[in-house]
Amino acid sequence: MTIDINDAIQAIRDMVPIIDPDEDYMTIASAEERMSQTEVVRKKELDEAQTNLRALAGILDAARKSSTRPDSVPSLERHAATLNDLDGSRLSLAKAINDAESALAGKEAELARLKEDNHVLEQSDPAAEHVLDATPLRLALYKGMGFEPIVEKDGHIAKMLVRAQSGDVHCVDLRDNKSAYEHAHTLWNHAST
C-alpha cells in the first residue's frame, strides 16, 4: 500500500495548527513533577511501613515466648480420652464391616445359585416336553384375522369365508385351478376392502 507524497504533505500541513509545542511541554513537565512528588510520598510510606513491621515483629516474638497452651488445644488427659473414644468407634466400625462382608458373601452365594437355576431353566424346552396340536391355534388365528375355512368331508378346505374390514363377508372357492399365490392375493384383497 503506497501513500501519495502530496497527500502526506497536505496531512502534515493540516495538523500544524493543532500542534502546540509549548502546551505539550507544560503537560510533560507537570506530569514529571507529579510523578516525583508521588515517589517521595511512596518512599516515606514505605519507610513508615518497614518501621511498623519491625516493631510488630518484636511484639510477635515477645508474645510467642510468653504464650502458654491455648484453651482450644486439649490437655493430655482430654487427648487420651478422645483417642480411646476413637478406638472404640474404630472397633464398632470394624465389626459392622465384618457383618456386612458376611452378608455380602451370603448374597453372592445366593446369586450364584440363582444363576445356576436360571441356566438350567434356559436350557430346558417346555414345549418339547409336551406334544401340542397347533391346528386349533392356527384356526383361531385365522378366524381372528377374518378368515374362516369351510372344510369338506374328506378334510380338505373347499371354500374360505372372508370378513372384510367394511364388515362384508365374501366367499372364495378354493377348488378352482388357480395357483396358491392367486388364491392368497384374492383373499387379502377381499379382507382389505
Identify the burial level of 174 via C-beta atoms within 10 angstroms of its C-beta, where 0-12 means exposed, 13-18 middle and 19 or more buried: middle
Contact between residue 151 and residue 157 where contact means Cβ atoms under 8 Å apart: yes
Which grid coordinates are listed for 62? 515477645
> What separation, in Å, do the N-terminal and C-terminal C-alpha atoms of the chain show?
82
With cell 377374518, the residue in question is 146
Identify the burial level of 190 via C-beta atoms within 10 angstroms of its C-beta, where 0-12 means exposed, 13-18 middle and 19 or more buried: buried
Helix/strand/coil for 179: coil
Please report which confidence band the pLDDT of residue 49 belongs to, taking 50, 70 and 90 as the band edges: very high
Q: Whole-number mean pLDDT of the chain?
A: 86
Q: What single-letter DSSP state applies at residue 74? A: P
Q: How many CA atoms lie within 13 A of 1 on its CB side?
A: 0
Contact between residue 165 and residue 191 where contact means Cβ atoms under 8 Å apart: yes
From the list 133, 179, 186, 178, the residue with the least C-alpha distance to 160 is 186
Give the model's pLDDT for residue 165: 85
Mean pLDDT within 17-32: 82
- Phi then psi for residue 75, to 5 deg, are -75, 170
Render pLDDT for 3-12 as a digit per residue (tens, 0 to 9). Answer: 788 888 888 8
Which grid coordinates are listed for 120? 438350567
Q: Is the pLDDT of residue 78 over 90?
A: no
Please report which confidence band the pLDDT of residue 152 belongs to, taking 50, 70 and 90 as the band edges: confident
Q: Beta-carbon neighbour count of residue 172 at 10 Å?
A: 17
Higher pLDDT, 120 or 17: 120
Helices marked H in 67-134:
76-123, 126-129
Residues in the chain: 193
Distance CA 34, CA 22 (A): 18
